[in-house]
Chain A
């Protein structure tokens, strides 16, 4: 597992898996979209609108997951002095931001017909908006320092501080009254979703994960190269 913390090992593995991952993500998207649009049933309450879920939920998960991984890499970079953590975080921040933005836009499009509003300031929607703003701040911080060594550390600390928002996003629907529904799929109980609707959701989640990995590989490789030229 050295390739997860070592730039040259990462490059070796990345060259090996990039094409398979990209092709696999296209295959999963093709099957997933086919299921989402044609092979899954209408919901008993929401009708066809429920199909927005197959984009909304995976992008929400991935927006949170990306941040969680960035938090781990910040700890690796700061406590264990693994510089690959800084490289990784610089590269994947925009990916997490885009997933969160997709989540917010698709959720808004879903809210209009179902709730009767594009947006409300309830705890879930607000905390996700804050997550998106945190991503934007990290991107801007990455663009705004003269000294790379200082920038990396400041950004890593900011990522750690921002990570307190993750449990708030996750549990906001349980802790407070929100317009947003509580979690459908939780570890402790049987999911409240029919298998025929769970299938496209899982396929689409894998498609999102794979495309995320593919873009991350490209961006991390670029970041590694740009640092080499910076040093020489």
Chain B
């Protein structure tokens, strides 16, 4: 085994060990590293009232209600569970039904989540606006695209 090969092996081995150490730490703290909980990850019996958390998912179709010009009510869903959210404030441009969103706030009781911040989340699909019209006209529009 030549000296340079020994050094190479030593460097690579060290890197693998450091990387696995970091990944182990991150894996065991993944609940804190994740930016939000999905509705199905939230266990109804474990809800702590007034503790600030973030939940994320899609704005459920036909759930959006405008109570006043700056007060809204809607449901966040991940297709397995959904949570009723109330929000007073300005919604981002991208916020709409069927669109991804991350909500910061706290449960005021077991069923109602009061939001302090609403962020819109967009997905990884990019497509010209004109194609959306074509797809809709021909009936090939995939519901998944939102």
A positions within 8 Å CB-CB of B: 41-47, 50, 53, 75, 78-81, 113-117, 120-123, 160-161, 163-164, 167-168, 175-179, 181-184, 192-194, 196-197
Residue B128 contacts which of A80, A122, A182, A194 (CB distance < 8 angstroms)? A194
> Is A197's CB under 8 angstroms from B4's CB?
no
Residue A116 contacts which of B7, B56, B92 (CB distance < 8 angstroms)? B92
Most buried by B among A81, A116, A182: A116
Given contacts A41-B128, A177-B56, A181-B123, contact A164 B35 (CB under 8 A): no
> Is B126's CB under 8 angstroms from A197's CB?
yes
> Is B124's CB under 8 angstroms from A176's CB?
no
Q: Which residues of B contact A114 (CB under 8 A)?
A: 92-94, 120, 122
**Which residue of chain B is the closest to A115 with respect to CB atoms?**
B119
**Which residue of chain A is the closest to B15 with respect to CB atoms?**
A160
- Judged by a CB distance under 8 angstroms, whether B8 is at the interface is yes
For chain B, the bracket of interface size reads 35 or more
Q: Which residues of A contact B22 (CB under 8 A)?
A: 164, 168
> Is B35's CB under 8 angstroms from A178's CB?
yes
Given contacts A116-B119, A184-B124, A192-B126, contact A176 B33 (CB under 8 A): yes
- Judged by a CB distance under 8 angstroms, whether B127 is at the interface is yes
> Is A196's CB under 8 angstroms from B121's CB?
no
Given contacts A75-B11, A177-B38, contact A43 B120 (CB under 8 A): no
Residue A177 contacts which of B11, B35, B128 (CB distance < 8 angstroms)? B35
Q: Which of B65-73, B105-113, B129-137 contacts A (4 or more CB under 8 A)?
A: B129-137
- Judged by a CB distance under 8 angstroms, whether B26 is at the interface is yes
